[in-house]
Amino acid sequence: MWVTLVHGGAVARVDVDGEVTVHPVGPDSRPSVIATGPDGALWFTLSGDDRIGRVTVAGDISAFELPDDTGPFGITAGGDGALWFTAMTSGEIGRITVDGDISRWPVGGMPSMIAKGPDNALWFTLNKANAIGRMDADGSITTRQLPTPAAGPVGIVATHDDAVWFTEILADKLGRIPVDGALQEMELPGKPHAVVADPDDGVWVSLWGSDQIARVTNDGEIVTVDLPAGSEPHGLAIGSDGAPWVALESGFVVRLPV
C-alpha cells in the first residue's frame, strides 16, 4: 500500500508485513492524494507547492509544475490513459498525461476529490458549491446540487452497482447517485471523509470525530469498526487481497482483516 505523508513531505510504501519505505518529495510540499496511474507508477498531488508527483514502484520520483496557487488535491486515473486532478485553490479540474502535458478547465466551487465513474466520465465533489460535478472527456461539465444545504462534499468513488458514492462531511451523511437514478442520502454516526468501494458490496467510509470507519452496503446497512481514540481516520484503500486499509492522522496505517 502507498500512502502520502502530508506533514512529512513524503510518500511511503507499506507492505503486508508492516515494513515501511519512505520517499521524500520536498519540505512543505504537502503530498495529499495518491493513485495508480495507467503507466504502473503512483501519481500524487502536492498541494503545498503546486506540483503533480510521480513515483515508480522502484522509488524513482519526478514531478510536474503547475501554476502558483493551484492547490491540487484529488487525483484519479481516467478512462483516456491520463490522470485527472482537482485544483482546490484555483477552482479547476486538470488533466495530465503520463508525459506531463497539462490541461485545465475552470469549475469553481472548490473541487475536492475526483473519480472515474461507471460511465467513464469524471465525477468530482464541489465542496463550497455544495454540488457534485460530472465532466466528459471533451470538457463538457454538468453539476447536481445536493438536497442538504452546506453539506460539504469531499470524498467520491464509483462502485460496481453503476453508482457514484460521495461523503458529506459537514452534514454527517453519505450520498449515492445511480447513473440513471435519483440522488440519495443517508445519515452516518460521524463526519465522513474518504470513501472507497468494497469489492463485494457497498463502500467503506472514514469517520472523523468518532474514530471509526464504517461499511455501508448497497441496501443501506451500516456497520462501524472502532479505532483507537485520537486516530482521526483519513484516506482509505482496498488491498490486493480485498482488505481495507485506513490512514490515521495519529501517524499509523491500519489494515483490517478480510
Query: Which is more confidently placed, 153 or 251?
Result: 153
Give bridge partners of residue 141 from the DSSP assignment.
135
pLDDT for 146: 97
What stretches of 198-242 adopt beta strand conformation (E)?
Answer: 203-208, 212-216, 222-226, 233-238
Residue 179's pLDDT band, with cuts at 50, 70 and 90, is confident
Is 6 a residue whose pLDDT tops 90?
yes
Residues whose CB falls within 8 Å of the CB of residue 220, separated by 6 or more in sequence, listed in order:
186
pLDDT for 138: 82
Q: Which of 84, 66, 205, 83 is nearest to 134 (CA)?
A: 84
Q: What is the largest CA-CA distance in the chain?
A: 46
Q: Which of 104, 107, 97 is nearest to 127 (CA)?
A: 107
pLDDT for 180: 77
Distance, in Å, from the CA atom of 171 to the CA atom of 91, rounded to the nearest integer, reads 22
19: number of Cβ within 10 Å: 8
Residue 233's pLDDT band, with cuts at 50, 70 and 90, is very high
Over range 201-206, report the average pLDDT: 95
Tracing cell 452496503 back to the chain, one arrives at: 217
241: number of Cβ within 10 Å: 10
Q: Which homologous superfamily does the CATH classification assign to the domain defined by 107-255?
A: YVTN repeat-like/Quinoprotein amine dehydrogenase (2.130.10.10)
Domain boundaries, the chain: 107-255
Phi, psi of 3 (to 5 degrees): -135, 155
Residue 258's pLDDT band, with cuts at 50, 70 and 90, is confident
Q: Which of 246, 212, 244 is nearest to 229 (CA)?
A: 212
Over range 128-154, report the average pLDDT: 95
Distance, in Å, from the CA atom of 66 to the CA atom of 184, rounded to the nearest integer, reads 36
pLDDT for 174: 97
Q: Decide if 7 is catalytic.
A: no
Average pLDDT, the chain: 95
Tell me which of 23, 160, 193, 234 is the catalytic residue: 234
Q: What single letter denotes the amino acid at residue 229?
A: A
pLDDT in tens, 118-135: 999 999 999 999 999 999
pLDDT in tens, 74-112: 999 999 999 999 999 999 999 999 999 999 999 999 999
Q: Which of 244, 240, 236, 257 is nearest to 4 (CA)?
A: 236
Q: Which of 39, 23, 30 is nearest to 9 (CA)?
A: 30
Q: Which of 156, 90, 97 is nearest to 123 (CA)?
A: 156
pLDDT in tens, 7-16: 999 999 999 8
